[in-house]
Amino acid sequence: MAAGCRHDPKESCRRSGGRADRECCRPQTFPMKQTVTIYGIKNCDTMKKARAWLDQHGVAYAFHDYKAAGIDRARLEGRAHAVGWEALHNRAGTTFRGLPDKDKDALGEKKAIALMVAQPSMIKRPVLDIDGKLLVGFKPDQYAMAFATSRR
Catalytic center residues:
44
Contact 53, 29 (CB under 8 A): no
What's the CA gap between 95 and 117, in Å, rounded? Answer: 13
What's the CA gap between 39 and 45, in Å, rounded? Answer: 13
Paired sense of beta strands 62-65 and 36-40, if any = parallel
What's the CA gap between 34 and 18, in Å, rounded? Answer: 34
Contact 36, 59 (CB under 8 A): yes
Which residues in 122-138 are b (16+ Cβ under 10 Å) and which e?
bbbbbbbbbeeeebbeb
